[in-house]
Amino acid sequence: MNQIKTYRFKLKPTKVQAQAFAQWLGSCRYVYNLCLDYKKQLYTNHQLSIGKNQMQKELSAIAKDVEWIGCVHSQTLQEVSDRLFKAYDGFFKQGKGFPRFAKRSLYRSFTYKQGVKLHENTCSVQLPKIGKVKYHKSQAVLGSIKTASVVKEADGWYVTLCCEMDIAPLPPATNVVGLDVGITSFVVTSDGQAVDNPKHLYRYHYQLRKVQRSVSRKRKGGSNRRKAALKLARLHLKVRNTRKDFHHKLTTQFIRENQAIVVERLQVQHMVKNHKLAKSISDAGWYQFVQMLEYKSKWYGREFQKVVPNYTSQDCWVCGWRNTDLQLSDREWTCANGHTLDRDVNAAINIRNKGVGHTLSAWESDTDGVQYNGNGRVAQESHSL
């Protein structure tokens, strides 16, 4: 089954190419804000809307008249309008915020819809209207390139390639696991394993504080302040990359070892409203972790299930008794029937038990008659002759 996989490489542009990237980025941001203003004015003054196709025709006319916009690839400009209409869809259909004008610091990429070629033997990527750009080759690229985005980060320029490829599923495993994410332990499994929280932000706390103070002492608008701010941005990028690497390695391990994975459907945006825990929750990156589990499960033929988190910590997984007096500080408790429970392990088992009926029904026919006991492991095997 064909899947979309993303590759990311750091570019090594020449000075002229880097200037072209910056110019294209500024042009795309200008076009985005121009399209947004046009849509808003059209609705405010005439109560009318404009479709995507008509907007792209307007962009073509503008590109012919304005030279510094016309130098941008036509399909890159079309993708700018696609972003705007996607933002409107998010507002009307998903309850997200109304589209806003893009600041220079927030608009950091432009995209080619087609025409990008990769030359792995020379470690270069062919970008239409820009030419061949060298890149740091960290891995081989498989599949056909569908889209390519040039992204500006604190430490330079990157290219992100979205490739369509056939990913072979992993051999069937024999375990169903429930995962309970937390702060003290990053994740606890229904098998009783606990993964320590690396606390990436805390590890770089003193460096971040030192650089942040350096930025604050510099005069606003000065070149020294820009240099210090860039240094701070690079340090934050390092924290982000370290966290992402940890998530990738851990999710890959869970995907390889388990046939089905069950997690809580957490509302992180509401949880961070607790100001005592907001920093720790944001540093843990639960959303990114769950997102990786979800798409890797789809890639490799695993089952992934989200369940409601109600009472997973309060219900005894053995007898079902509910402890309504359980506090956040209670890490271990005993139910009315005498079962002593670790809070996180108990929650992980309840999460697995909530999702096991949904996950097993979807794939148990593909595991050659394997049956499972209450712990989510193999109980017995039956093979047809």
Cα 383 versus chain centre, distance = 41
DSSP 168: P
What are 179's two structure tokens?
A: 């995962």
What's the CA gap between 144 and 117, in Å, rounded? 10
Alpha-carbon distance 175 to 257, whole Å? 7
Q: Bridge-partner residues for 181, per DSSP?
A: 187
Q: Which residue has the tokens 């769950």?
A: 290
Half-sphere exposure of 66 (CA within 13 A, CB side): 14
What residues have CB less than 8 Å from 67, skipping those under 6 apart? Answer: none
**Per-residue DSSP letter, 8:** E
Q: Measuring CA to CA, which residue among 140, 160, 165, 137 is closest to residue 150? A: 160
Cα–Cα nearest to 247, from 259, 237, 255: 255
Helix segments in 204-342, DSSP class H: 205-217, 223-257, 268-271, 278-284, 286-299
Which among 296, 372, 107, 261 is positioned nearest to 381, based on CA atoms? 372
Q: How far is residue 205's CA from residue 236's CA, in Å, rounded to a whole number?
A: 10
- Which active-site residues does the annotation give? 180, 264, 344
Which secondary-structure segment (H or E) carries 80?
helix 74-94
Angstrom CA distances, 49 to 30, 31, 44, 45, 204, stand at 20, 18, 10, 11, 48
Cα separation, 73 vs 63, whole angstroms? 10
- As a whole number of angstroms, the distance between CA 158 and CA 150 comes to 6
CA distances from 164 to 20, 82, 141, 143 (A): 28, 21, 11, 5
